[in-house]
Amino acid sequence: MIFEVAGDRQAPVFVHVRRGINGDPSGLREVLALAERTRAPLHVCHISHNAMKNTELFLAEIRAARERGVDVTTEVLPYNAGSTSISAAVFGRDWQTIFDITYEDVEWAATGERFNEEMWEEYRREYPDGAVIHHYLEEDWTRRAIEEPGVIIVSDLITMKSRDEHVPPHNGAFTRILGRYVREQPTLDLMTALAKMTLLPARRMEDYAPAFGRKGRLQEGADADITVFDPETVIDRATYRDPYQESAGIEHIVVNGVHLVRGGTLAEGLHPGQRLTSGREQ
C-alpha cells in the first residue's frame, strides 16, 4: 500500500530493507520489485550495513534495476559498525548469525566494555534502553559502496542530548570522507565526494520537493548554505568512545545566508535553518 500511494504521488520511499542472514538479498529484491510494479521512486538506506558481505551483489542489482527503468538510489554511511539499543528487535533473533559476529564484537556504549554471554543476558534484562555498538562491517565493503558511482554519502545521527550520553560519532561522516577517503587513502576525487554529499541527495528529493532544487549547488538563485574547509587538514575526530570531538579543518559555515561558524568558532544564539516541505497540498 505504501508503494502504491508513493507511486501515485511520485513521492520517494525511503526503506531500511528487511535484513536476513548476512548477505541475504531477499529484502532488497522485495523493494525493487515493489518499486518496479508501482513506479514509486525508491531510496535504499545504508547499503553496506544491510548488504554486508554481499555489498557487491546489492550494488549490481540496483544498477540492473536502474537499467530496467526503476527510479532507485542508495546511500552509504562511512562507518564499520552499527549502534542501537540492546533491546532492539534484531537482538531477539539469531543476531550472531545475522551479523556473523559474537558477543566480543559488541560493546556497551557507555563504557566500551565488550560482552560475554553472561553479561549480555544481564544487560538485556536490566538495562533495556542502553546503547550498544556492534562491529560487523568490513572496511572493504564500506569502501566499495563509497566508490560506486551514484551512491549518496550520508550521516545518521541520534539526538545529542548531553555529552554524558554516548551516541554514534556519525556527526563526523562528511569530514571523514574528505579526510580519509579523499586525502589519506584516495577512493574518490574531491569533486565527486562533494557531489555525493550535496548535489546527489538534493537531486533525489527535488522532483517531489522543488525546494531541494536550491540545495547542493553553488550558483545564482541557490540557498546560501556553504561550508568552507581546508582540504589539507579536514578530518573527523569523533570516535565511538568520544563522539563529541569536533572535526578539524572546518573554517566557515553559512546557513541560509547567516554566518554561523567564522574562523572555526560557532556563533551563539543563531538558528537560521528552516524546515523544508514538498510544497504540495496534503
Q: What is the pLDDT of residue 160?
A: 76
User: For 212-228, what is the mean pLDDT?
Assistant: 95
The rounded radius of gyration (Å) of the Cα atoms in the chain is 20
Question: With 80 as the cut, is the pLDDT of residue 232 above it?
Answer: yes
Confidence of residue 167 (pLDDT cuts 50, 70, 90): confident
Rounded to the nearest angstrom, the gap between the alpha carbon of residue 117 and the centroid of all alpha carbons in its chain is: 30
Q: What is the pLDDT of residue 241?
A: 84
Confidence of residue 281 (pLDDT cuts 50, 70, 90): low
Cα separation values, 162 from 128, 167, 213, 243, 267, Å: 19, 10, 35, 11, 20
Contacts of 268 (CB under 8 A, 6+ apart): none
Q: What is the pLDDT of residue 158?
A: 75
Instruction: Give the whole-number percent of the chain exceeding pLDDT 90.
Output: 85
Q: What is the pLDDT of residue 30?
A: 98
Identity (one letter) of the amino acid at 270? Answer: L
Q: What average pLDDT is seen over the chain?
A: 94
Q: For 39-87, what is each residue's pLDDT tens digit?
A: 999 999 999 999 999 999 999 999 999 999 999 999 999 999 998 999 9
Q: What is the pTM of this model?
A: 0.93
> What are the φ/ψ torsions at residue 270 (nearest 5 degrees)?
-110, 135
Q: For 114-159, what is each residue's pLDDT tens digit?
A: 999 999 999 999 999 998 999 999 999 999 999 999 999 999 887 7
Question: With 90 as the cut, is the pLDDT of residue 242 above it?
Answer: no
Question: DSSP states of the chain as a string?
Answer: -HHHHHHHHTPPEEE-----STT--HHHHHHHHHHHHH---EEE--HHHHHGGGHHHHHHHHHHHHHTT--EEEEE-S-S-EEEETT-GGGGS-HHHHHT--GGGEEETTT-PBP-HHHHHHHHHH-TT-EEEE----HHHHHHHHHSTT-EE---PPP---TTS----GGGHHHHIIIIIIIIS-SS-HHHHHHHHTHHHHHHHHTT-GGGGGSS--STTS---EEEE-TTT-B----SSSTTPPPBSEEEEEETTEEEEETTEEPSS-------------
Q: For 86-111, what is each residue's pLDDT tens digit?
A: 999 999 999 999 999 999 999 998 89
User: For 218-225, what is the mean pLDDT?
Assistant: 95
